[in-house]
Amino acid sequence: MKNGFFREGTCVLRAKIDMSSPNINMRDPIMYRILYKTHHKTGSKWCIYPTYDWTHGQCDYIEQISHSLCSLEFENKRPLYNWFLEKINLTSKIRPKQIEFSRLNISNTVTSKRKIQYLIKKNIIYSWDDPRILTICGLKKRGYPSIALKDFIHKIGITKRNSMIDISLLEYWGRKHLNKISTRVMVVLNPVKIIIDNYCSNKIEWIKLKNNPEDKHSGIRNVPFSKNIYIEESDFLEEKKDNFFRLFIGNKVRLKGSYVIEAKYVVKNEKGKIKEIHCNYFSKTESIKKIRSTLHWVSIPHIFPIKINIYKTLFLKKKNLDEYEINPNSKKTIIGYAEPFLKKVKKGDYLQFQRIGYFCVEEVHNGKIILNKTLSIKNKWE
């Protein structure tokens, strides 16, 4: 076989064990087969190739692996793994042991390396560190701190029973730790313009806000306030609806760290879309009680545009055991409008966009920054 006297498929080398064994893996398993393929290291020198079952234990022994950790489908191969090691009489060094445990299955994603490789090949994701998959480098790029991953693994433990872990449990641990370390900032993603009619046109106030209320050593930052600001488009309605307590005509809201304002009227463009909302502010904000909503905002003359990658689950649902429906909107890139503090951030910084979610700085280059959304603020697990 080794010298090339036989054609492919005509001969194999088998281990003589027991053809009547109830374990099919012990019925004279194949060790070598003929394959006329060029090897990337040995070229055409060898035309016989070993099987995985034969090489598994031998490679572990040569590399002095003490424990070979396998998923549950290898459990019935453990007798063969041990048989090969016993028959070649390996006694001078540590003999490896095979231990099986259940795969880590997480909802709405895949953790199989083979399936991830397929996604890369089909250009569904771009690399092994794509933030939409749960590789260590992918989770790091998305903004998960390492302590969150460790706590998640400790929580689910190691078992011998296959199960599906809801991804919201991973997200819970992500939020728990990001809340402690993330700097709070204000960023508006879908802006609508507010004009405060009774505020002086050339006046700029610098408001002091805490960087992180969870960390007394995080310090404070100065945020500019002016006559013209942006709020989120979703924070305003012309007419009140049930259970809507944000801004609408005649209603008062508090601007984060700043004044209470009241909406008076709107100006629309020729297509009927709201162009600007005119409001009045109350300089004696402290005396106004029972304000039900607080909104984040940014001063228009001081905005700093940033690029943001928004990620959602890569898969919508399973079609069958091995096939998923791909989410065509799993990644979206938008422009956000940030307070000027973000000009100071560095790659890898953790931020909480107030009322929106947690973000990680992926890149800072020539005054431009790109951020990845890690998680939203809310979590159904809680």
User: Residues 209-223: pLDDT tens digits?
Assistant: 999 999 999 999 999
Query: How far is residue 347's CA from residue 361's CA, in Å, rounded to a whole number?
Result: 5
Model confidence band, residue 361 (pLDDT cutoffs 50, 70, 90): very high
- Tell me the C-alpha to C-alpha distance, in Å, between residue 141 and each of 25, 179, 308, 314, 371: 42, 18, 13, 16, 10
304-376 matches 105-180 in CATH topology: no
How confident is the model at residue 320, as a pLDDT?
45
Number of neighbouring beta carbons within 10 Å of residue 194: 24
- Give Cα separations from 4 to 40, 96, 228, 260, 339 (angstroms): 19, 34, 82, 87, 72
Q: For the segment 74-89, what is each residue's pLDDT rounded down to a tens digit?
A: 999 999 999 999 988 7
Give the architecture-level CATH label for domain 105-180: Orthogonal Bundle (1.10)
pLDDT greater than 80 at residue 56 = yes
With a CB cutoff of 8 Å and minimum separation 6, the contacts of 32 are 1, 12, 13, 48, 49, 50, 51, 54
Quickly name the fold that domain 191-301 has: Ribosomal Protein L25; Chain P (2.40.240)
Percent of the chain surpassing pLDDT 90: 80
What DSSP string runs through 98-162? EEEE---EETTS---HHHHHHHHHTTSS-STT-TTS-SHHHHHHHT--HHHHHHHHHHH---SS-
In tens, the pLDDT along 11-23 reads: 999 999 999 999 9
Evaluate if residue 92 carries a pLDDT over 90: no
- Worst-scoring range by mean pLDDT, 96-110, 225-239, 316-330? 316-330
What's the whole-number average pLDDT of the chain? 93
157-212 pLDDT, tens digit per residue, is 988 988 889 999 999 999 999 999 999 999 999 999 999 999 999 999 999 999 99
pLDDT category of residue 155 using cuts at 50, 70 and 90? very high
Closest CA to 311 of 173, 142, 126: 142
26 and 15 Cβ atoms separated by less than 8 Å: no
DSSP state of 43: B
- CA 36, CA 382: separation in Å to the nearest integer? 58
Task: Report whether CATH 2.40.240.10 matches the domain 304-376.
Answer: yes
381: pLDDT confidence band, cut at 50, 70 and 90? Answer: very low
Tell me the pLDDT band of 382, cut-offs 50, 70 and 90.
Answer: very low
Residues contacting 280, CB < 8 A, separation 6+: 196, 197, 198, 261, 262, 264
Domain boundaries, the chain: 12-101, 105-180, 191-301, 304-376
The predicted model gives 29-46 an average pLDDT of 92
The answer, yes or no, to whether residue 90 has pLDDT greater than 70, is: no
Mean pLDDT of 52-62: 94
Using CA atoms, how far apart are residues 370 and 342, in angstroms rounded to an integer? 11
